[in-house]
Amino acid sequence: MTARGHRPPPGPGSGLRSLAGQVLALEALIALLVIVAAVLVTFQQARQDVLTDARVRSLAVAEAFAKAPGVDEALASDDPTAALQEAAEQTRVATGVDFVAVLGLDGVRYTDSETGLIGQKATGDLSRAVVDGESYTETFRGAPNDAVRAVVPVVDDDGRIVGMVTSGIEVQSISDVVQGRLVVLLAAGGGALLLAVGGATLVSRRLRRQTHGLGPAEMTRMKEHHEAVLHAVREGVLIVDADKRLLLANDEARRLLGLAADADGRPVAELGLDPRTVELLESGRTATDEVHRAGDLLLAVSVRPTVRDGGPGEGSVMTMRDTTELAALSGRAAVARGRLQLLYEAGVRIGTTLEVVRTAEELAEVAVPRFADFATVELLEPVLRGEEPPQDSTLSEMRRAALSGVREDQPLQPVGEVIRFHVPSTPMATALSEGHAVVQAELAAADGWRAQDPEGAAGALAYGMHSLLTVPLLARDVVLGMANFWRADTEEPFGEEDLEFAEELAARAAVAIDNARRFTREHAMAVTLQRSLLPRVLPEQNAVEVAYRYLPAKAGVGGDWFDVIPLPGARVALVVGDVVGHGLHAAATMGRLRTAVHNFSTLDVPPDEILGHLDELTGRIDEEGEPTPEADDGGRGREETITGATCLYAIYDPASGVCSMASAGHPGPAVVHADGRVEFPPLAPGLPLGLGLGDLPFESTELLVPEDSKLVLFTDGLLEDHGRDVGTGLRLLRTTLERADRSPEQICADVLANLLSPAPRDDIALLVARTRRLPADRIAEWEVARDPAAVSPVRNAAAAKLGEWGLDEAAYPVELILSELVTNAVRYGADPVRVRLLYDRTLVCEVSDGSSTSPHLRHAAETDEGGRGLYLVARFAERWGTRYGRRGKTIWAELRVGPGGGEGGPGIAGPGPAPTAALDLDALEKLAW
């Protein structure tokens, strides 16, 4: 080594003979070769790109002009040149190509950028376009110029080839572009070479300072002397740099510390050293003969700082020697370290799921085989069900939840059996009564255990079970169960030193089991609440045949729901929705929204207005849930707000087959046609409910749904799952639905079988509705003139139609209702006035007009001449109401079908008794309400 602060003169190692000079020359040569190769490759790639661009542009221009409207007609005209020359020239100028020419089938030019060529025959083989009808590009060599050109046939409406269009870019133009790029490439290459040489010069100067101008041979000789001295000594040497990374370790240091072969250059903290040793090396302090542990060894360690260039350095040199003398002490330390490592693994491996039984199994798996040969876990029945454990301290039986062992054959009772311990002197009963772990070192001497089950105890002893450690599982000072650890193959019995470890292991497992129990209870409560809020029995209606499925998520119940709501006029509303979040709050919010949808459906407005009302209600619910500034609840009130919900609301009309639907951030439905064809109709997505963006309206979409089609409504939990996005889910759903002749029940089963994962992350709601159409002979419609005299003929026609349907008994109330509704529409409404009768489960009378003014029910005074019309309608109808359309309104009244009516037979049962004397219907028409 050199003296402090002294550097050797350059001497013979300077210049190119030195290592620094040789590195400079080599780097400059490599940089030159790389830059030249890069310029050549880039130039060739640029030339190829320009050619490719010329082909693509030429073909695009030729195809666009060949398919332009009127080109085929111009070719068939008397003077194609006059019709097409100007357009071809404009196209050439606009697209930047060198020529655009229109040719006849014989190759004669009708147009060309050089007018002197018009009328001359183009050279080259054009049969691919004329005979085969193929569009192609080629590199053309010949007159007037070499060029990359495209040839596209012109096809008329009858599919005949009537001409050709050629377009292209001259080779000279391409060469000019490439040469322009070459200049840039050469300039960039020169600049890169200058930068590379400059960087190599800087590296060479740095290397010259580090090597002191030494040549390779001199450095090799110094390295050999250094290695010989360093590795010959029988004391470990470790050198760490200023960044606390390992620079060098001799053979003895690697043996003592157990360093890996690739340890050089790694941080000290990653070498696997004892934490005290790592702290000593990272601190930079000096030490003399400090005792540190390295595996099973005890080392005397000394540390001194290194010196760099005559000044104090931040690195350090550590020397060490083996001072291990007590092997037994080292063995016990190893056992202690193993127990600590096992406790750490238990904290990571126990409680990975929120399932009670699985957590018990993880406890048994952690203990075997590093602590026990066999391990069993018994839990109280209420704990397994997620209920609160009993507070009674006199526990005498549990159910085995987990069993793990080093061998498959074992004499212990299997999982699922009830374990009883009535004898108070058994280790299990003693541990439960005293509340801490109990060791039975010799099982053969455990009289209470043998008396509890003589036959089972004899089998265990014969198998080789010789030692038992039992520990209660306590959480919040309440017993959840117990864990039993058995030894058979391990000769050493359990001792007192194992008690503390077993209790620590059981305490960690008990917390995880209690958490899983609580989750199981809350999950069961949420599932119960969710199912109680979902429809239990779907309402009777004839518009659709419905099947449905609802599955809660494994991780927690969410806010998915579905509904089928009968509407006036034989229509039906199909609803699916999803509240963001999981748990009781999401389920309760779902119930509120479902109730709101039912209430808003009675307004009988289009789907977009239903969602508008629902969005406004959701925003008000959020405002009610926000905590007030003066409320001191720790912000808990904010957790009760709705963070968003989606909804799809669809109304199907069996009379017309039209389905009107609107979405608030919810996936649209799938429509499965009778032949198995599946489509996802485009639907305006809308914004989710409750985001405070109500200024953006929802949009309704109408589509005609053929009879016997299936409407498939679903929530996004069906599509998205582990490793599967929405697009993949939609493709899988389409494939599953593409099969005809299946009932809604079969479709539900097939969809869940193909798309459902074993542990879904989100709730799944699926609703499949097969559409039906109201037979045409069950629908009667009339258009009524704005003349009071037109009321009576409509009334008579309705009575005649009821006679055809076998509903003669309903003629009187229907005539009465129509008289009142039609008279009011004629007097106070607007054109057009229409009357419609629908015969489904009920008999529906509808009167529509172009006015938006709605009548209301009131009780007329005795002196009033009118005002009793709607009262009579309400008296004779089962129910009645008003439905507003985009223009005008419809007043409807439903009459209940009597015996046999719903299935095609006659009979109407009204809610009130019929009057004893027939009313004069013609006189009633003169009264207004």
Give the pLDDT confidence of 349-381 residue by residue, as tens digits.
Answer: 888 888 888 989 998 898 888 888 999 999 998
Distances (CA, A) of 340 to 333, 390, 501: 11, 33, 9
Whether the predicted pLDDT of 86 surpasses 60? yes
Residue 308 has pLDDT above 60, yes or no: no
User: Does residue 506 or residue 139 have the better pLDDT?
Assistant: 506
* Cα gap 616→403, rounded to integer Å: 56
Across the beta sheet with 297-308, the strand order is: 246-249, 236-240, 311-322, 297-308, 287-294
Beta pairing class for 710-714 and 670-672: antiparallel
Three-class secondary structure of residue 822 per DSSP: helix
pLDDT of residue 907: 38
Q: Which two tokens stand for residue 144?
A: 């007037």
- Residue 336, pLDDT score: 66
| Residue 594 pLDDT exceeds 50 | yes
How far apart CA 703 and CA 879 sit, in angstroms, is 29
* E strand spans, 332-381: 374-379
Mean pLDDT for the stretch of residues 90-104: 84
Range scoring the smallest mean pLDDT among 132-141, 664-673, 830-839: 132-141
Cα 589 from chain centroid (whole Å): 22
The pTM of the full predicted model, rounded to 2 decimals, is: 0.52
Encoded amino acid at 495, one letter = G
pLDDT top residue among 713 and 523: 713
User: Which has the higher per-residue pLDDT, 856 or 811?
Assistant: 811
Distance, in Å, from the CA atom of 669 to the CA atom of 683, rounded to the nearest integer, reads 9
CA distance 472 to 421: 13
% of residues, the chain, pLDDT over 90 = 18
Top mean pLDDT of 11-25, 164-178, 262-276 is at: 262-276
The band of 662, judged by pLDDT with boundaries at 50, 70 and 90, is very high
Instruction: Answer with the residue of higher pLDDT: 730 or 45.
Output: 730
DSSP code of residue 899: T
pLDDT grade, residue 633 (50/70/90)?
A: very low
CA atoms of 652 and 672, how far apart (whole Å) = 15
Measured CA to CA in angstroms, residue 35 lies from 181, 204, 417, 530, 556 at distances of 16, 20, 78, 70, 61
The helix (H) or strand (E) run that includes residue 622 is helix 607-625
To the nearest whole percent, how much of the chain has pLDDT over 70? Answer: 81
Q: What is the pLDDT of residue 680?
A: 94
Q: What is the pLDDT of residue 694?
A: 53
527-536: long-range contacts, CB 8 A cutoff, minimum separation 24: 527/552, 527/557, 529/557, 529/584, 529/587, 529/588, 529/591, 530/557, 530/587, 530/590, 530/763, 533/561, 533/587, 533/588, 533/590, 533/591, 533/594, 534/561, 534/562, 534/594, 535/562, 535/563, 535/564
Average pLDDT over residues 613-640: 59
Give me 362's structure tokens.
């993880």
Which pLDDT score is estimated for 94?
Answer: 83
User: What is the pLDDT, as a whole number, of residue 180?
Assistant: 67
| Whether residue 858 has pLDDT greater than 70 | no
Ranges 38-42, 517-521, 538-542, 906-910: which has the least confidence: 906-910
Do residues 899 and 848 make contact, with C-beta atoms less than 8 angstroms apart?
A: no
Mean pLDDT of 728-753: 91
pLDDT at 313: 56
Q: Which of 207-211, 310-314, 900-904 has the lowest mean pLDDT?
A: 900-904
Q: Is 1 helix (H, G, I), strand (E, B) or coil?
A: coil
The pLDDT of residue 863 = 41
pLDDT exceeds 90 at position 711: yes
Residue 838 pLDDT exceeds 70: yes
The predicted model gives 639-655 an average pLDDT of: 81
Mean pLDDT across 415-420:
89
- How confident is the model at residue 927, as a pLDDT? 42
Mean pLDDT of 377-396: 81
Q: How far apart are the first and last CA of the chain?
A: 119
pLDDT of residue 587: 75
- pLDDT score, position 125: 76
Of the candidates 344, 378, 346, the one whose C-alpha atom is nearest the C-alpha of residue 470 is 378
Residue 875 scores a pLDDT above 60: yes
Averaged pLDDT of the chain: 80
Q: What span, in angstroms and rounded, lies between the C-alpha atoms of 205 and 21?
A: 9
- Categorize the per-residue pLDDT at 682 as very low, low, confident or very high, splitting at 50, 70 and 90: very high
CA distance 377 to 396: 15
d(CA 60, CA 765): 49
**Residue 663 confidence (pLDDT) above 90:** yes
CA distance 562 to 744: 15
The average pLDDT across 118-128 equals 80
Q: What is the largest CA-CA distance in the chain?
A: 138
> Per residue in 506-560, pLDDT tens?
888 999 888 888 887 877 776 776 666 677 778 889 899 999 998 877 666 667 8
Residue 1 has pLDDT above 50, yes or no: no
Query: Which pLDDT does position 397 carry in this prediction?
Result: 85
Distance CA 574, CA 535 (A): 12
Name the band, by pLDDT with cuts 50, 70 and 90, for residue 583: low
Q: What is the pLDDT of residue 6?
A: 42
Q: Which two tokens stand for residue 694?
A: 């109500």
